[in-house]
Amino acid sequence: MANVLEMVQELLTPALTKQYAEMIGGNETKVTEGMTLAAPLTLAAMAKYASHADNAQGLAQTLEKDLGSPLDAVTNGLSDVWLNQWFGAGIPNVSRWIENTTNIAVAPVLALAAPLVLHALRDAAHAQSLDAAGLNTLLQNEMDAYALAQPPFASEIAAALDAGENVNERAARIRAQFTAEEWDTLSKTPVLAGYAVMMSSLSGPVGINKEIRALLEAMDEFGHQAEPDSLVGLVSHEYNSPAHITSLGANRENAATLMRDACLETLRILNEKETYDEKVAYKEFVVNVATRVASAAIDGGIMSIGGTAISPEEQQTLDLIAAALAYP
Protein backbone atom coordinates (compact mmCIF):
# COMPACT_ATOMS: atom_id res chain seq x y z
CA MET A 1 0.00 0.00 0.00
CA ALA A 2 1.25 3.50 -0.87
CA ASN A 3 2.27 5.71 2.02
CA VAL A 4 0.31 8.85 2.88
CA LEU A 5 2.52 11.26 0.94
CA GLU A 6 2.35 9.04 -2.15
CA MET A 7 -1.43 9.03 -1.81
CA VAL A 8 -1.39 12.84 -1.64
CA GLN A 9 0.43 12.93 -4.96
CA GLU A 10 -2.22 10.65 -6.45
CA LEU A 11 -4.98 12.96 -5.20
CA LEU A 12 -3.23 16.00 -6.70
CA THR A 13 -4.42 15.39 -10.25
CA PRO A 14 -3.50 17.73 -13.12
CA ALA A 15 -7.06 19.10 -13.08
CA LEU A 16 -6.91 19.83 -9.34
CA THR A 17 -3.44 21.35 -9.71
CA LYS A 18 -4.83 23.74 -12.31
CA GLN A 19 -7.75 24.68 -10.04
CA TYR A 20 -5.41 25.20 -7.11
CA ALA A 21 -3.17 27.43 -9.25
CA GLU A 22 -6.15 29.60 -10.14
CA MET A 23 -7.10 29.89 -6.47
CA ILE A 24 -3.71 31.26 -5.39
CA GLY A 25 -3.17 33.38 -8.49
CA GLY A 26 -0.10 31.46 -9.53
CA ASN A 27 0.89 28.84 -12.06
CA GLU A 28 0.76 25.07 -11.78
CA THR A 29 4.51 24.84 -11.24
CA LYS A 30 4.17 26.97 -8.11
CA VAL A 31 1.56 24.55 -6.75
CA THR A 32 3.58 21.44 -7.61
CA GLU A 33 6.82 22.82 -6.18
CA GLY A 34 5.15 24.14 -3.04
CA MET A 35 3.36 20.86 -2.43
CA THR A 36 6.65 18.95 -2.29
CA LEU A 37 7.25 20.51 1.12
CA ALA A 38 3.77 21.69 2.12
CA ALA A 39 2.44 18.12 2.24
CA PRO A 40 5.22 16.60 4.41
CA LEU A 41 5.26 19.75 6.57
CA THR A 42 1.52 19.41 7.17
CA LEU A 43 1.90 15.70 7.89
CA ALA A 44 4.72 16.43 10.36
CA ALA A 45 2.58 19.01 12.16
CA MET A 46 -0.25 16.47 12.37
CA ALA A 47 2.16 13.86 13.74
CA LYS A 48 3.40 16.26 16.42
CA TYR A 49 -0.16 17.26 17.27
CA ALA A 50 -1.36 13.64 17.48
CA SER A 51 1.52 12.62 19.75
CA HIS A 52 -0.78 13.70 22.61
CA ALA A 53 -3.46 11.08 23.22
CA ASP A 54 -6.38 13.53 23.42
CA ASN A 55 -5.35 15.16 20.16
CA ALA A 56 -4.99 11.78 18.46
CA GLN A 57 -8.53 10.94 19.53
CA GLY A 58 -9.79 14.24 18.16
CA LEU A 59 -7.99 13.67 14.87
CA ALA A 60 -9.46 10.17 14.60
CA GLN A 61 -12.93 11.66 15.10
CA THR A 62 -12.27 14.23 12.38
CA LEU A 63 -11.43 11.43 9.96
CA GLU A 64 -14.86 9.95 10.56
CA LYS A 65 -16.64 13.13 9.47
CA ASP A 66 -17.58 14.21 5.96
CA LEU A 67 -14.46 16.05 4.85
CA GLY A 68 -16.05 17.35 1.66
CA SER A 69 -13.95 17.91 -1.43
CA PRO A 70 -10.44 19.40 -1.17
CA LEU A 71 -11.62 22.48 -3.06
CA ASP A 72 -14.60 22.99 -0.76
CA ALA A 73 -12.39 22.69 2.32
CA VAL A 74 -10.22 25.55 1.04
CA THR A 75 -13.04 27.86 -0.09
CA ASN A 76 -15.17 27.46 3.04
CA GLY A 77 -12.26 28.11 5.41
CA LEU A 78 -12.21 24.61 6.89
CA SER A 79 -8.66 24.06 5.69
CA ASP A 80 -7.48 27.08 7.68
CA VAL A 81 -9.26 25.75 10.77
CA TRP A 82 -7.35 22.47 10.47
CA LEU A 83 -4.02 24.24 9.96
CA ASN A 84 -4.55 26.44 13.00
CA GLN A 85 -5.33 23.33 15.04
CA TRP A 86 -2.24 21.40 13.93
CA PHE A 87 0.30 24.24 13.75
CA GLY A 88 -1.09 26.66 16.31
CA ALA A 89 -0.15 30.33 16.32
CA GLY A 90 3.36 29.56 15.10
CA ILE A 91 2.34 28.78 11.53
CA PRO A 92 3.75 32.05 10.04
CA ASN A 93 7.13 31.35 11.63
CA VAL A 94 7.06 27.77 10.39
CA SER A 95 6.35 28.88 6.82
CA ARG A 96 8.99 31.60 7.00
CA TRP A 97 11.62 29.15 8.23
CA ILE A 98 10.96 26.74 5.37
CA GLU A 99 11.01 29.45 2.75
CA ASN A 100 14.22 30.99 4.09
CA THR A 101 16.09 27.67 4.24
CA THR A 102 14.78 25.95 1.09
CA ASN A 103 13.62 28.82 -1.15
CA ILE A 104 10.32 26.98 -1.60
CA ALA A 105 7.20 29.06 -0.93
CA VAL A 106 4.94 26.87 1.18
CA ALA A 107 2.71 29.53 2.77
CA PRO A 108 0.33 29.88 -0.21
CA VAL A 109 0.12 26.11 -0.61
CA LEU A 110 -0.40 24.96 2.99
CA ALA A 111 -4.17 25.51 2.90
CA LEU A 112 -4.26 23.52 -0.34
CA ALA A 113 -2.18 20.70 1.13
CA ALA A 114 -4.19 20.29 4.34
CA PRO A 115 -7.34 18.65 2.86
CA LEU A 116 -5.27 16.40 0.59
CA VAL A 117 -3.18 15.15 3.50
CA LEU A 118 -6.30 14.63 5.60
CA HIS A 119 -8.06 12.69 2.82
CA ALA A 120 -5.00 10.51 2.27
CA LEU A 121 -4.61 9.89 6.01
CA ARG A 122 -8.28 8.95 6.29
CA ASP A 123 -7.94 6.42 3.46
CA ALA A 124 -4.83 4.91 5.04
CA ALA A 125 -6.40 4.74 8.50
CA HIS A 126 -9.60 3.15 7.19
CA ALA A 127 -7.67 0.60 5.13
CA GLN A 128 -5.85 -0.53 8.29
CA SER A 129 -8.85 -0.10 10.67
CA LEU A 130 -6.79 2.11 12.97
CA ASP A 131 -7.95 3.56 16.27
CA ALA A 132 -6.49 6.76 17.76
CA ALA A 133 -3.36 5.01 19.05
CA GLY A 134 -2.85 3.29 15.72
CA LEU A 135 -3.30 6.59 13.93
CA ASN A 136 -0.57 8.15 16.06
CA THR A 137 1.75 5.23 15.27
CA LEU A 138 1.01 5.55 11.57
CA LEU A 139 1.89 9.24 11.59
CA GLN A 140 5.16 8.67 13.47
CA ASN A 141 6.11 5.87 11.06
CA GLU A 142 5.31 8.10 8.09
CA MET A 143 7.65 10.79 9.37
CA ASP A 144 10.39 8.27 10.17
CA ALA A 145 10.17 7.00 6.60
CA TYR A 146 10.27 10.56 5.24
CA ALA A 147 13.35 11.34 7.35
CA LEU A 148 15.15 8.37 5.78
CA ALA A 149 14.09 9.31 2.26
CA GLN A 150 14.60 13.09 2.50
CA PRO A 151 16.99 13.83 5.40
CA PRO A 152 17.81 17.47 4.51
CA PHE A 153 14.15 18.45 4.11
CA ALA A 154 13.11 16.44 7.18
CA SER A 155 15.71 18.29 9.25
CA GLU A 156 14.42 21.70 8.12
CA ILE A 157 10.82 20.66 8.78
CA ALA A 158 11.71 19.60 12.33
CA ALA A 159 13.56 22.89 12.93
CA ALA A 160 10.64 24.89 11.52
CA LEU A 161 8.15 23.16 13.80
CA ASP A 162 10.40 23.85 16.78
CA ALA A 163 10.42 27.54 15.84
CA GLY A 164 6.65 27.45 15.66
CA GLU A 165 6.44 25.75 19.05
CA ASN A 166 8.28 28.67 20.67
CA VAL A 167 5.58 31.00 19.34
CA ASN A 168 2.87 28.63 20.54
CA GLU A 169 4.27 28.70 24.07
CA ARG A 170 4.22 32.51 24.14
CA ALA A 171 0.73 32.51 22.65
CA ALA A 172 -0.47 30.11 25.34
CA ARG A 173 0.71 32.53 28.02
CA ILE A 174 -1.32 35.33 26.42
CA ARG A 175 -4.38 33.09 26.08
CA ALA A 176 -4.10 32.06 29.75
CA GLN A 177 -4.74 35.64 30.87
CA PHE A 178 -8.38 35.40 29.86
CA THR A 179 -11.36 33.25 30.78
CA ALA A 180 -13.09 31.28 28.02
CA GLU A 181 -15.89 33.85 27.95
CA GLU A 182 -13.48 36.77 27.73
CA TRP A 183 -11.52 35.12 24.93
CA ASP A 184 -14.70 34.49 22.97
CA THR A 185 -15.68 38.14 23.35
CA LEU A 186 -12.29 39.34 22.14
CA SER A 187 -12.46 36.92 19.20
CA LYS A 188 -15.95 37.76 17.97
CA THR A 189 -15.88 41.55 18.46
CA PRO A 190 -14.06 42.30 15.15
CA VAL A 191 -16.53 40.10 13.26
CA LEU A 192 -19.55 41.67 14.96
CA ALA A 193 -18.16 45.12 14.17
CA GLY A 194 -17.82 44.24 10.50
CA TYR A 195 -21.23 42.62 10.40
CA ALA A 196 -22.88 45.65 12.04
CA VAL A 197 -21.43 47.82 9.28
CA MET A 198 -22.88 45.46 6.68
CA MET A 199 -26.33 45.57 8.25
CA SER A 200 -26.33 49.35 8.65
CA SER A 201 -26.52 49.96 4.92
CA LEU A 202 -27.58 46.87 2.98
CA SER A 203 -26.00 46.83 -0.46
CA GLY A 204 -28.05 44.07 -2.06
CA PRO A 205 -26.97 40.42 -2.51
CA VAL A 206 -23.88 41.30 -4.55
CA GLY A 207 -22.79 43.99 -2.12
CA ILE A 208 -23.37 41.81 0.93
CA ASN A 209 -21.32 38.99 -0.59
CA LYS A 210 -18.50 41.42 -1.33
CA GLU A 211 -18.62 42.72 2.22
CA ILE A 212 -18.59 39.24 3.77
CA ARG A 213 -15.59 38.39 1.63
CA ALA A 214 -13.98 41.69 2.62
CA LEU A 215 -14.61 40.91 6.30
CA LEU A 216 -12.87 37.54 6.12
CA GLU A 217 -10.02 38.91 4.01
CA ALA A 218 -9.53 41.84 6.37
CA MET A 219 -9.41 39.55 9.41
CA ASP A 220 -6.76 37.48 7.66
CA GLU A 221 -4.73 40.38 6.27
CA PHE A 222 -4.61 42.55 9.38
CA GLY A 223 -4.13 39.45 11.53
CA HIS A 224 -1.07 38.42 9.54
CA GLN A 225 0.39 41.91 9.82
CA ALA A 226 0.51 41.45 13.60
CA GLU A 227 2.97 39.22 15.42
CA PRO A 228 1.55 35.67 15.56
CA ASP A 229 1.80 35.58 19.36
CA SER A 230 0.14 38.98 19.85
CA LEU A 231 -3.47 39.43 20.90
CA VAL A 232 -4.47 40.58 17.41
CA GLY A 233 -2.54 37.78 15.74
CA LEU A 234 -4.31 35.22 17.90
CA VAL A 235 -7.92 36.42 17.80
CA SER A 236 -7.82 37.00 14.04
CA HIS A 237 -7.89 33.23 13.46
CA GLU A 238 -10.87 32.39 15.69
CA TYR A 239 -13.86 33.53 13.59
CA ASN A 240 -12.56 33.12 10.07
CA SER A 241 -15.25 31.46 7.96
CA PRO A 242 -18.81 32.17 6.77
CA ALA A 243 -20.01 29.45 9.16
CA HIS A 244 -18.39 31.30 12.07
CA ILE A 245 -20.16 34.51 11.06
CA THR A 246 -23.49 32.69 10.88
CA SER A 247 -22.93 31.14 14.32
CA LEU A 248 -23.03 34.59 15.94
CA GLY A 249 -26.74 34.90 15.21
CA ALA A 250 -26.48 38.50 14.05
CA ASN A 251 -29.09 40.02 11.75
CA ARG A 252 -30.23 43.46 10.64
CA GLU A 253 -32.32 43.97 13.79
CA ASN A 254 -29.76 42.99 16.44
CA ALA A 255 -26.34 43.52 14.79
CA ALA A 256 -25.80 47.01 16.20
CA THR A 257 -26.78 45.95 19.71
CA LEU A 258 -24.56 42.85 19.63
CA MET A 259 -21.69 44.95 18.33
CA ARG A 260 -22.10 47.64 21.00
CA ASP A 261 -22.31 45.14 23.86
CA ALA A 262 -19.29 43.22 22.57
CA CYS A 263 -17.23 46.39 22.16
CA LEU A 264 -18.08 47.65 25.65
CA GLU A 265 -17.24 44.29 27.22
CA THR A 266 -14.04 44.15 25.19
CA LEU A 267 -13.06 47.59 26.45
CA ARG A 268 -13.53 46.39 30.03
CA ILE A 269 -11.41 43.30 29.41
CA LEU A 270 -8.63 45.27 27.72
CA ASN A 271 -8.51 47.86 30.46
CA GLU A 272 -8.26 45.18 33.14
CA LYS A 273 -5.80 42.79 31.52
CA GLU A 274 -3.81 44.25 28.63
CA THR A 275 -0.88 46.59 28.14
CA TYR A 276 -1.31 49.97 26.51
CA ASP A 277 0.29 48.84 23.24
CA GLU A 278 -1.85 45.70 23.01
CA LYS A 279 -5.00 47.73 23.72
CA VAL A 280 -4.23 50.24 20.98
CA ALA A 281 -3.32 47.52 18.48
CA TYR A 282 -6.50 45.55 19.17
CA LYS A 283 -8.80 48.59 18.90
CA GLU A 284 -7.10 49.62 15.66
CA PHE A 285 -7.59 46.08 14.34
CA VAL A 286 -11.35 46.16 15.00
CA VAL A 287 -11.76 49.59 13.44
CA ASN A 288 -9.65 48.66 10.40
CA VAL A 289 -11.67 45.49 9.79
CA ALA A 290 -14.96 47.38 10.03
CA THR A 291 -13.69 50.16 7.75
CA ARG A 292 -12.56 47.65 5.14
CA VAL A 293 -16.05 46.13 5.15
CA ALA A 294 -17.66 49.55 4.76
CA SER A 295 -15.46 50.26 1.76
CA ALA A 296 -16.10 46.92 0.07
CA ALA A 297 -19.39 47.70 -1.67
CA ILE A 298 -20.21 51.06 -3.26
CA ASP A 299 -23.63 52.26 -2.10
CA GLY A 300 -25.92 54.59 -3.99
CA GLY A 301 -25.81 55.71 -7.60
CA ILE A 302 -26.79 53.55 -10.55
CA MET A 303 -24.94 50.28 -11.13
CA SER A 304 -22.29 51.47 -8.62
CA ILE A 305 -21.75 54.69 -10.61
CA GLY A 306 -21.99 57.89 -8.62
CA GLY A 307 -22.21 56.19 -5.26
CA THR A 308 -20.06 56.68 -2.16
CA ALA A 309 -17.55 54.16 -0.87
CA ILE A 310 -18.80 54.60 2.70
CA SER A 311 -22.43 55.57 3.21
CA PRO A 312 -23.58 57.91 6.00
CA GLU A 313 -25.18 54.94 7.78
CA GLU A 314 -21.95 52.97 7.60
CA GLN A 315 -19.95 55.94 8.85
CA GLN A 316 -22.33 56.30 11.76
CA THR A 317 -21.78 52.66 12.68
CA LEU A 318 -18.01 53.11 12.39
CA ASP A 319 -18.26 56.07 14.75
CA LEU A 320 -20.27 53.97 17.22
CA ILE A 321 -17.65 51.22 17.10
CA ALA A 322 -14.86 53.69 17.81
CA ALA A 323 -16.83 55.28 20.63
CA ALA A 324 -17.68 51.96 22.28
CA LEU A 325 -14.00 50.98 22.19
CA ALA A 326 -12.83 54.42 23.31
CA TYR A 327 -10.74 54.57 20.14
CA PRO A 328 -9.84 58.15 19.13
Confidence at residue 1, expressed as pLDDT on a 0 to 100 scale: 56
Task: Provide the phi-psi class of 202: left if phi over 0, else alpha when psi is between -120 and 50, else beta.
Answer: beta
DSSP code of residue 249: T
State how far the alpha carbon of 82 is from the alpha carbons of 79, 175, 176, 204, 298, in Å.
Answer: 5, 19, 22, 32, 34
Confidence at residue 297, expressed as pLDDT on a 0 to 100 scale: 58
| Segment-wise mean pLDDT, segments of 10 residues, the chain, 328 residues | 88 95 90 96 96 94 92 88 90 92 93 96 95 96 96 95 88 92 96 92 64 85 87 87 83 93 97 93 96 72 46 92 94
Nearest residue to 92 via CA among 106, 78, 104: 106
Strand partners, 99: none
Distance CA 242, CA 81 (A): 12
Q: Are 90 and 168 in contact (CB under 8 A)?
A: yes
Strand partners, 302: 305
* Alpha helices per DSSP H over the chain: 4-11, 14-24, 28-50, 53-63, 70-75, 78-87, 91-102, 107-127, 132-149, 151-175, 180-200, 204-225, 231-235, 242-247, 255-273, 276-294, 312-324
Distance CA 41, CA 125 (A): 19
Residue 6 identity: E
Q: Are 229 and 315 in contact (CB under 8 A)?
A: no
Distance CA 115, CA 77 (A): 11
Distance CA 321, CA 267 (A): 11
